[in-house]
Amino acid sequence: MHLLVLGGSGRSGKLIVEEALSKGHSVVALVRSPTSFPLGARSGLTLVEGTPMKREDLQKAFAASPKFPDAVLVALSLKRMSDSPFAAVDPSNPARIMEDSVANAISVMKECGTKRLVIMSQWGAGNSFGSMNLLFRGMFSHTNMKHGLAAHNNLDEETRKSGVDYVFVRASVLADGDAAPIKVYPDDGKGINFLPKVTRASVAKFMIEACEKNEFVGRSPVITN
């Protein structure tokens, strides 16, 4: 398959790119600075400079290979003042950076005939909020984590109306480490344990599989290890 990755420079995004390449797929990554891309030059990888906030940059990324992407993978997140999930959102973030980036991607997907859109979402988004215990509900309602959840809720609502074949991968609490066996819960997260975690590498593997298979099209599975 030929894949386009948005957010490929991030901690999760670079693992998605690596996983795709390891499976023999070709990848275009739209990045702000190709010279500082953490993976460097790789066979099967094309780096395109730009931002998904600009539709013309996305058009350039779609046209960077002889064929248009079979799927678009999104690993975008709000930039924060530090790596802490509780840190304040960086004021340099454009308003609706995640929502408008995905809206631009959907527009170009329709223009180019690309059907599949796989978005790295989070546990708590949409109807999975009810599966959170009181501790997590409090954190995502009353700390700076609420901003990211609000963006994912907007993405969830707006993408469902777009007509593309979407998959929202609702990752539980992110952790470092190797890919491990994944437990898949319903879209509403019913049955999830009290302190669920999933490694970023596991999420990357699941997202590539969501491109390769049709099992989760139109769904928003909650995943843990």
For the stretch 137-162, pLDDT in tens is 999 999 999 999 999 999 999 999 99
| CB crowding 156-191: b at 16 or more within 10 Å, else e | beebeebebbbbbbbbbebeeeebeebbebebbbee
Give this prediction's pTM: 0.96
**Can you name the CATH fold of 2-224?**
Rossmann fold (3.40.50)
For the stretch 166-199, pLDDT in tens is 999 999 999 999 999 999 999 999 999 999 999 9
**Domain boundaries of the chain, sorted by first residue:** 2-224
Residue 192 CB contacts under 8 Å (≥ 6 apart), including other chains: 123, 131, 172, 185, 222, 224
